[in-house]
Amino acid sequence: MKQITFADAEYSNKRKQTRKELFLKEMEQVVPWKGLTGLIEPYYPRGEGGRPSYPLMAMQRVHLLQNWFGYSDPAMEEALYETMILRQFADLDLNRIPDETTILNFRRLLEQHNLAAEILVVINGYLGDRGLSLRQGTIVDATLIHAPSSTKNKDGKRDPAMHQTRKGNQYYFGMKAHIGVDERPGLVHSVVGTPANVADVTQVDKLLHGEESTVSADAGYTGELRP
């Protein structure tokens, strides 16, 4: 374990622990970190001949933080600067925080090699074996993952996996994460990534595990979930 600063020590010794801290402490114990590292490591760039890559463990922790708390890429970068408990969980310090492009590239690496779904299988299998995934009901929802509008692929064109959409009076460019969550423990069991302009209601069937007794959603899914 790395040496903590005086500020970290003072923060750790405070009396009250927030719900976020308690959640991250539990995840620290129950997530099969070695299993996840084994899945990703064969595909993770080692940084030969250039700037060293961020540690794989740090990036996979940042990726899970982003999914658990619904951060966009820019918001995840800012949260790591602003929030000590997130930096501690990811084993990062203020001298070297991954920027939004690095966070985006890591997620795209997982998508390119179909690892995002495998990560969920590993985590959910591990939690299910320990009775932490109750699978009684599913909550479905979607969140926008904002990316810089200048994001381009190797051919110099905008990535076709991303698109512009409007939410309220504001336009966003990027992707959308469609998420299925266990109703009681609040654990994610399904995630589907689409361009940002894909309607939430079109992805419902991909977010259900088939063992639900109930399905809950907001008004955007009206009609799809009626019996």
- pLDDT tens per residue, range 35-92: 889 989 999 987 655 555 789 999 999 998 987 787 888 999 999 999 999 999 999 9
Sign of CA dihedral 160, 161, 162, 163: positive
221 is written with which tokens? 């899914």
HEC assignment per residue over 94-150: CCCCCCHHHHHHHHHHHHHCCHHHHHHHHHHHHHHHCCCCCCCEEEEEEEEEECCCC
Q: Which residues pair with 180 in a beta bridge?
A: 140, 190
Give the pLDDT band (50/70/90) at residue 1.
very low
Model confidence pLDDT, tens digit, residues 186-204: 667 778 888 888 888 888 8
Q: Does the pTM exceed 0.75?
A: no
Contact 78, 105 (CB under 8 A): no
CA distance 178 to 207: 7
User: Span 99-110, mean pLDDT?
Assistant: 92
At residue 121, does pLDDT exceed 80? Answer: no
